[in-house]
Structure 1
């Protein structure tokens, strides 16, 4: 794909998926690919929408036994990524009391944001409305959104990488499998692959949406050499999942105009995960590789109900 790459503003989990989560018991036991987590339902619902969507779509029916009185739900999701998110949340808001959202004046993600309404938007629309110009932000200098002064907020960055190895068709199956495994290992932890922005396309191209995305995140406290919190290959597949979940850096009222504007832009991604997809190609071990990268950005604000 070239200039016509599809850019989407991902919906939160659909009504059916969210209904399945809300209908769960007060305490849930999640079996994530063999690793169990016991978590209160309210705590589960406070997780980023992107995580909830994956949990709900990969969820099997709860099972009960005499030895295990709690409902156990099996989900095809990375336990390492799930633990990474829980560990970051537990560092600051484990005992946080939930309060009504109506108590705060929060910018609605649907107001003035073209991408929030459209299932698909073009790259031009992404350039104008999502990162660079942000027409929904008023001309006057915005302060720090009130909700961020009282509630912990977090940035979720995620990359889903699918890679395709164009090996010699005359090569036997075992050799092909070993080749894919080696390349998968190289893409997972080799070189600078652990750095978040290393593989972000056009990040050094001035005024590109990726450039503005990186600048926005850097002003929010993500360093340019930030490393993924988790980067792992899904067993027996050509898929690599990377995730960075970190606390949002709240500036002082004396912060620069650029910092405050970036902070208000990020609020637009609260409960509205935004996705960007692109293809790239390169060579490793004298074979061509095509890779599809999907980036997801979301802002998570803890301790809000409703």
Structure 2
């Protein structure tokens, strides 16, 4: 689940809270035509497009396994999509169509996706409304996953614009090296006042990146000592053996709460000078499927 709240290059250093509500972009370039029939529903469209993709391979079973690996969608989920028994989230759609369409840019996927898929993405993904001035790319996402300094500077550029001196004090000479790389990649932009904000090339924030960056921010910035101070922070943990129905309701509650946070930011005066993050995870206490 994921959005990054952008900071325009001419924002004058306006500080914005960080929100992670994005999707996965992992693909290699290829050309495949898609059936684009607005009359079909979302499940039928996805089934048709997966089937069409698999038809390009001699061995459908191996092709499905390949699609699962490249899209990072579990093969059981793909099978449920083929059986019309699963309603895909917008994150799943991004991961699936990044492979089917051979695109790693959110805007390119939305532009080329079938009408019913495009409607779902536009309705559910907040970053779609940021316009064409930003590109959400897999190479930026890879840097976030592989380099903790890159990840933290990325977050700071979006929430608390910083100077070269700040990067050097916090991360040493390596921090300056990473900052120069981010400039070359146009991930950050240098403003006239000498501070850096996010640039035009950004990460799509898939689930793995959300987990990695979320845990990093929690480790670096969560303050247990402040839990006795009213409205200083929030920390919670609960574990129990629950039913499938209860699990789904828990997840619905989490998703609703996150969307309410997004809506709150649209209100006058909601944004201000406090750099903040919000990160949550609800899951089963079962080992990941191999």
TM-score scaled to structure 1, two decimals?
0.26
TM-score scaled to structure 2, two decimals?
0.27
